[in-house]
Amino acid sequence: MAEKTISQKKLLGVAGLGWMFDAMDVGMLSFVIAALKADWDLTPQQMGWIGSVNSIGMAVGALVFGVFADRVGRKNIFIITLLMFSLASGLSALTTTLAAFLILRFFVGMGLGGELPVASTLVSESVSAKDRGRVVVLLESFWAFGWLLAAVISYFVIPTYGWQAALVIGAVPAFYALYLRLKLPDSPAFSPAKAEKRTIGQNMRDVWSKKYSRSTLVLWVVWFTVVFSYYGMFLWLPSVMVIKGFSMIQSFEYVLIMTLAQLPGYFSAAWLIERAGRKFVLVTYLLGTAASALVFGNAESTSILIVSGMLLSFFNLGAWGALYAYTPEQYPAVIRGTGTGMAAAVGRIGGILGPLLVGSLVASGQSIGFIFGLFCASIVIGVIVLATLGRETKQVELE
């Protein structure tokens, strides 16, 4: 029985550290891409493929592991995915060809894509309705700490010791996964007996049943537009700074400064989400992201570039926190992992296309302002769908 009870703070810490390691890996990838360009003389299209293969893996992982979280439990999937991405990240440091690197990045992505929706589902189901949104956004805030770690490691490690050393550091979470196996209880909402009575196909069909189809449509559109713009912008951030004329060291330094703005973004969203509601936070922070992207893409002075980059981090990551809180609340426990995983998987398709689009547009000579304008438009589409069709779930008891 002792395993069934875990304090809210302890659950947040255990799940949050796994989340932080995920972010550290994704964050380091943006810096590694910039370093690989110099080491392997990569073209913009090849750079885009690195980010996109990662997202292909995340799409597959979100779908497969989300579905199986409703069959074998949230805890088991959380541990498997954490081990998968940690070990693949460490092995990718040993590669000497782009092809081998891309294969391993696919497996890293699978682990990442599966872990994130499953962790948010686990925390959602383990916290009371009055605290649920705030706690899930705080869980997402560990992403900022992971990005900060990635920026610090990349700034101090990559220029001196190479990108390989940074990726070896990314393998550390594999050891943490072993600790999780012993310490983390499964979700109180997960019922093995109920899971055994339902098929995977039945769960996937029910996500689009009449009762949940509207919520599913909203989630799929919002996830696609948010992930498309996020990975298109943030995976290219250090490289965009280089394109704008800064050295690689300078670009790492400025991205580190911008990353600091993620923390107040999360904490303000966590404060607002139980007061103003999920939809208000998502709409407000996504519109802030769109406006910041437009200014950043067209910035010509260093000061405007840094300030708009900080606002981009502030609003975008606050919106991410609200989205992870909002998504599991749309479904009952028997299909919650499936519904959340499928929405995340559709989002990852956007994550595949975003970096590829940037690579092809940069290669064709399009301006950064035009490219970031496209991401701005994408986010506005998501906001319109959410504002008109989305349902509010503030302090609603989960089914």
Cα distance between residue 146 and residue 297, in whole Å: 25
Q: Is the pTM of this model over 0.85?
A: no
Cβ pair 344, 55 in contact under 8 A: no
Higher pLDDT, 113 or 239: 113
Q: CB-based burial of residue 303 (10 Å sphere; 0-12 exposed, 13-18 middle, 19+ buried)?
A: exposed
Mean pLDDT of 162-173: 85
Dihedral of the CA atoms 310, 33, 16, 129 (nearest 10)?
60
Confidence label for 1 from pLDDT (cuts 50, 70 and 90): very low
Tell me, yes or no, whether 399 lies in a domain: no
Tell me, yes or no, whether 2 lies in a domain: no
Please report, rounded to a whole number, the percentage of residues in the chain having pLDDT higher than 90.
36
Tell me, yes or no, whether 75 lies in a domain: yes
Supply the pLDDT for residue 3: 44
Sign, CA dihedral 75-81-84-87, equals: negative
Q: 80: Cβ–Cβ under 8 A, 6 or more apart, which residues?
A: 65, 114
Mean pLDDT of 164-187: 78
Cα distance between residue 77 and residue 217, in whole Å: 26
Supply the pLDDT for residue 256: 79
Can you give the CATH number for the domain in which 384 is found? 1.20.1250.20
For 82-122, give the DSSP string.
HHHHHHHHHHHTT--SHHHHHHHHHHHHHHHHHHHHHHHHH
Count of domains forming the chain? 1
Mean pLDDT of 349-363: 86
Confidence label for 399 from pLDDT (cuts 50, 70 and 90): low
Supply the pLDDT for residue 362: 85
Amino acid type, 364? S
Cβ pair 266, 144 in contact under 8 A: yes
For residue range 296-333, list pLDDT tens digits in order: 888 888 888 889 989 999 999 899 989 988 999 999 98
Confidence label for 183 from pLDDT (cuts 50, 70 and 90): confident
**Res 290 pLDDT > 90:** yes
Mean pLDDT of 351-363: 85
Tell me, yes or no, whether 287 lies in a domain: yes
Supply the pLDDT for residue 5: 57
Q: What is the extent of the structural domain holding 345?
A: 11-181+199-389
Tell me, yes or no, whether 191 lies in a domain: no
Supply the pLDDT for residue 339: 94
The CA–CA distances, whole Å, from 78 to 68, 111, 127, 245, 374 equal 11, 9, 17, 41, 34
Cα distance between residue 212 and residue 208, in whole Å: 6
Residue 170 DSSP symbol = T
Tell me, yes or no, whether 228 lies in a domain: yes
Among the ranges given (153-167, 234-248, 249-263, 365-379), the one the predictor scored with the smallest mean pLDDT: 234-248
Tell me, yes or no, whether 6 lies in a domain: no
Mean pLDDT of 366-373: 90
Q: 259: Cβ–Cβ under 8 A, 6 or more apart, which residues?
A: 27, 144, 147, 148, 151, 313
Tell me, yes or no, whether 98 lies in a domain: yes
Mean pLDDT of 211-240: 89
